[in-house]
């Protein structure tokens, strides 16, 4: 946007008044231009003594109204711009939320499958644990049986040696 300076000058009988504002060129209202032309005519009339006090007050009110309308319009455009920015940010957040919902919807079946797999694995782990416990018990009983067998073997060997040593000396 191009920015132009709008200079509004008006004269009173005692002094020169100037109002300057920087506004975008496409924002300058036709009403403001008309008010500026009217002020120019009034200023000339006042300078040459053709104006009365009531006309000056009315013209001042018109000028004030035109300036306040331009300021109000500028403020309204700024607010509209801000609202459009907020709207676009909200639209972006809404799009992100939709994407997250899609991801969550897609991940829910996967999580259910993982839960089923976990339950299956938990059952297998329990079964494996019980088998390991049984194997450990059997290993323990096998060791005891081997030890008892060895002890029995040693006892039998000693018994046989005792009988043969007695038979040799008798």
Q: Up-side HSE of residue 72: CA atoms within 13 Å toward CB?
A: 7
Query: Is 19 in a helix, a strand, or coil?
Result: strand
The 8-class DSSP code of residue 100 comes to: H
| pLDDT number for residue 153 | 97
CA distances from 120 to 41, 58, 109, 114, 115 (A): 95, 91, 17, 10, 9
More confident residue, 160 or 34: 160
74 contacts 23 by C-beta, under 8 angstroms: yes
Distance between CA atoms of residues 82 and 62, nearest Å: 30
Asked if residue 147 has pLDDT above 80, the reply is yes
Tens of pLDDT, residue by residue over 5-53, are: 444 444 444 444 444 444 454 555 565 666 677 777 777 766 665 545 5
Report the predicted TM-score, pTM, of the whole model to 2 decimal places. 0.38
Taking only the tens place, the pLDDT of each residue in 106-131 is 898 888 999 999 999 999 999 999 99
Band of residue 95 on the pLDDT scale cut at 50, 70, 90: very high
69 contacts 97 by C-beta, under 8 angstroms: no
């Amino acid at each position: 946007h191009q920015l132009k300076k709008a200079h509004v000058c008006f004269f009173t009988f005692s002094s020169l008044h100037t109002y300057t504002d920087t506004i975008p060129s496409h924002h300058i209202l036709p009403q403001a231009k008309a008010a500026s032309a009217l002020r120019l005519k009034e200023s000339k009339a006042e300078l040459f003594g053709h104006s009365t006090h009531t006309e000056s007050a009315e013209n001042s009110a018109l000028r004030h109204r035109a300036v306040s309308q331009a300021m109000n319009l500028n403020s309204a455009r700024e607010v509209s711009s801000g609202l459009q920015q907020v709207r676009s940010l909200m639209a972006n957040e809404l799009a992100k939320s939709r994407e997250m919902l899609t991801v969550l919807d897609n991940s829910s079946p996967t999580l259910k499958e993982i839960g089923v797999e976990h339950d299956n694995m938990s059952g297998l782990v329990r079964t494996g644990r019980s088998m390991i416990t049984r194997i450990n018990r059997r290993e323990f009983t096998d060791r005891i049986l081997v030890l008892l067998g060895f002890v029995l073997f040693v006892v039998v060997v000693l018994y046989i040696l005792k009988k043969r040593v007695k038979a040799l000396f008798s």
